A and B are shown apart, each in its own frame.
Chain A
Amino acid sequence: MLALTRKKSESIMIGDHVEVIVLGIQGEQVKLGIIAPKNVPIHRKEIYEQIQIENQEASAHINMVAIKEFKKPRSE
Chain B
Amino acid sequence: MQLVTKHFGEVEYDENSTLTFPHGLPGFPEATHFLLMPDSSPNDLFYWLQCIDDGALAFALIDVYQIMPDYNPLVEPEEIKELGNLADAQLEIYNVAVIPEEIKQMRVNLKAPIVINTLTRKGMQVIVSNDEYSVRHYIFAEWEKTKNNG
Tell me the A residues contacting B by CB distance below 8 Å.
37-39, 41, 43, 47-48, 50-59, 61-64, 66-67, 69-71, 74
Q: Which of B12-20, B66-74, B84-92, B95-103 contacts A (4 or more CB under 8 A)?
A: B95-103
**Distance of A57 Cα from B57 Cα, bound (Å):** 12
Tell me the total A-B contact number using a CB cutoff of 8 A.
Answer: 88
Could you tell me if A63 and B135 are in contact, using CB atoms closer than 8 angstroms? no
Q: Mark B123-146, 1 if CB is under 8 A from A, else 0.
A: 001110000000110000000000
**A63 and B99 in contact (CB under 8 A), knowing A43-B127, A51-B127, A58-B60?**
yes
Could you tell me if B111 and A47 are in contact, using CB atoms closer than 8 angstroms? yes
Could you tell me if A70 and B28 are in contact, using CB atoms closer than 8 angstroms? no
Determine the chain B residues whose CB is within 8 A of the CB of A74 once the complex forms. 147
Could you tell me if B101 and A47 are in contact, using CB atoms closer than 8 angstroms? no
B39 contacts the other chain (CB 8 A): yes
**In-complex Cβ contact of A62 among B7, B27, B147 (8 A):** B7
Could you tell me if B81 and A39 are in contact, using CB atoms closer than 8 angstroms? yes
Could you tell me if B103 and A69 are in contact, using CB atoms closer than 8 angstroms? yes
Dominant SS among interface residues on chain A? helix
**In-complex Cβ contact of A48 among B28, B106, B109, B127 (8 A):** B127
Could you tell me if A55 and B28 are in contact, using CB atoms closer than 8 angstroms? yes
**In-complex Cβ contact of B78 among A39, A47, A48, A54 (8 A):** A39
Could you tell me if B135 and A47 are in contact, using CB atoms closer than 8 angstroms? yes
Could you tell me if A51 and B103 are in contact, using CB atoms closer than 8 angstroms? no
**Distance of A63 Cα from B39 Cα, bound (Å):** 12
**In-complex Cβ contact of A64 among B7, B98, B127, B135 (8 A):** B7
**Distance of A59 Cα from B28 Cα, bound (Å):** 10
Determine the chain B residues whose CB is within 8 A of the CB of A55 once the complex forms. 25-28, 59, 96, 109, 125
